[in-house]
Amino acid sequence: MKAPILELYFFESCPYCQRVLTVIKELKVVVAYKNIHDDINEMQKLLYITGKKTVPCLFINGDPMHESLDIINWLKSNIESLDKTL
């Protein structure tokens, strides 16, 4: 089974984003990072797809998931099927 493609929409000063970023680092999961404060196009894409600018938002194969604790629980529950960094 192929690992899902993960994209995290976030910004640095968000405490909920930091919670998710810490877990991603601990689990060594491969994630594409989309900082909505650094790239206006990423913010617009998030708003277009989800109807809101709320972060963190983890896209899993193109499907958005909000809420930091939901994201963390999903990552931990699916760790075996996720690509890892070296």
Question: How open is the CA angle 85-41-38, to the nearest 5 degrees?
Answer: 60
**Is residue 76 one of the residues assigned to a domain?**
no
Any domain includes 73: no
Q: For the chain, what is the domain count?
A: 1
Domain assignment of residue 75, yes or no: no
Residues 6+ apart with CB under 8 A from 32: 5, 6, 7, 8
The continuous run of DSSP H or E covering 10 comes out as strand 6-10
Does residue 43 lie in a domain region?
A: yes
The pLDDT assigned to 66 comes to: 97
CA gap 71, 37 in Å, rounded: 20
Residue 3 lies in a domain: no
* Cis status, amide bond into 15, omega within 30 of 0: no
**Enclosing domain of residue 39:** 11-21+32-48
**In the predicted model, what is the mean pLDDT of residues 62-71?**
98
Summarised one tens digit per residue, pLDDT across range 1-52 is 789 999 999 999 999 999 999 999 999 999 999 999 999 999 999 999 999 9
Residue 82 has pLDDT above 80, yes or no: yes
The predicted pLDDT at position 86 comes to 81
Query: How far is residue 66's CA from residue 51's CA, in Å, rounded to a whole number?
Result: 12
